[in-house]
Amino acid sequence: MCLKAIFNQDYKDFEVIIVDNKSTDATVAKAKAFNVKIVNIEEYLPGRALNIGISHSQGKFLCFLSGHCIPVDNSWLTNLMRNFNDEQAAGVYGRQEPMSSTSDVDKRDLLNLFGLDKKIQIRDSFFHNANSMIKRDIWEKVPFDEKVTNIEDRVWAAEVLKRGYKIIYEPEASVYHYHGVHQNNNPKRCYNVVKILESLSPRENKLDIQNMNVVALIPVKGNIQYLNDRPLIEYTIERCKQSKYVKRTFISTDNSQLAELTKTLGAEAPFLRPKELSSEFVDLEKVLQFSLESIEKLGIFPDILVVLEVTYPFRKKGLIDSMIEQLIEKGLDSVVPVKPEYRSCWINKDNHISRIDDGFMPRSVKEPLYLGTVGLACITHPVFIREGRRLGDKVGFVEIDDPCSSLEVRNTNDLELVEKIIPGWWKKNS
């Protein structure tokens, strides 16, 4: 149907070149029924495929049409070409309309993206090669990038706009497009597209952390514990006080004596949680939900939450701030500290033991597993706590290289070991 529509155009002076990348269906056989030239390529990258196809062509104008597209009417080619009466026009792209069989996701995108009004673009680099035309003499100066995996059209358009040319959107040159512009939101394709788009618009879209309300939340239950004659919780509060981003530190506890003690250590007026939230069967996420609600009832609304557990006293100075910075700089939902593990690892599920690491191989080529130490620090957004979880979907890692950082104080044996190490460690890392 695509080729039939092309050869029915009212403009007749053209050649058709099909670039085929080892197709295994009947596409090539069907194409040979028309007056076309077939060009075969071994490896597909969109820019390279286009450049190879162009190198086999003769025309002054180069028209690109996806095999999934069908021109809506016989004036499609004429309507593209007429825009080159403007000498500054480097490229023209046409409208794309969904078919009845197109998915709802792709229908939504096509109908929203390709409107009815003509546009002349002098800064906006949006351009779409599924239905487009460019000048050959401009392509000779600016060929398509042969390395990018996606949106070679946007990369090309950005370059010609820099050189003072225009891009034109012509809604009268319309085609039906089966699968739309986002490939049903394929995650890998989406990731690649975003990386390229960000490289085209390198402006730093980062929030100013100093203007954000960063709140630390420390959940703790039971009696006051001491480590080398200091309250165990003091080590955690001290790191919050040393942070350049944490504005306030709140304690959520079930012990009134501990609550009073933390006031003297520099925490905000703590709040006591219900006894049922201290049951060993209650998830910490429920405690955090209650704690966030209590903070917000005070009229304090965190932009970022720093969740810390007191059982981890070996928290390096600057760790909290470096994690907050990564959250903002990379646009993550949450950030957690991890320890890379290269040793052999197995999992026993329903009495079936299976190995989960890459097997026996040199460490230099082995992909590590990452052991999370979420209690050491978890940087996240309040929305996830409200939903009853600590982490969002887009999680970042900060690798911990200090062997002491993963040590916890949960029983007498832990305490005896930690008391021997922490004086020297704390002095070194103050």
Q: Which two tokens stand for residue 12?
A: 């007749």
Percentage of the residues of the chain whose pLDDT score is greater than 90:
74
- Rounded to an integer, the average pLDDT of 142-164 is 93
- Rounded to an integer, the average pLDDT of 224-250 is 95
Task: Count the Cβ atoms, other than its own, within 10 Å of residue 415.
Answer: 15
Q: Residue 208: pLDDT band by 50, 70, 90 thresholds?
A: confident
Q: What is the per-residue pLDDT for 311?
A: 96
Unique residue bearing structure tokens 């060009």: 39
Residue 202: pLDDT over 60: no
Residue 169: pLDDT over 80: yes
Q: Residue 135: pLDDT band by 50, 70, 90 thresholds?
A: very high
Q: Residue 120: pLDDT band by 50, 70, 90 thresholds?
A: very high
Query: Tell me: the pLDDT tens digits for 6-61?
Result: 999 999 999 999 998 888 787 888 888 899 999 988 888 999 999 999 999 999 99
Radius of gyration of the chain measured on its C-alpha atoms: 30
- Report the C-alpha gap between 368 and 49 in whole angstroms: 37
The alpha-helical segments, DSSP class H, found in 172-318 are: 187-200, 232-242, 256-264, 284-297
Could you give all domains of the chain from N- to C-terminal order, each with its CATH number? Answer: 2-200 (3.90.550.10), 210-428 (3.90.550.10)
Query: Tell me: the pLDDT tens digits for 56-106?
Result: 999 999 999 998 899 999 999 999 999 999 999 999 999 999 887 788 888
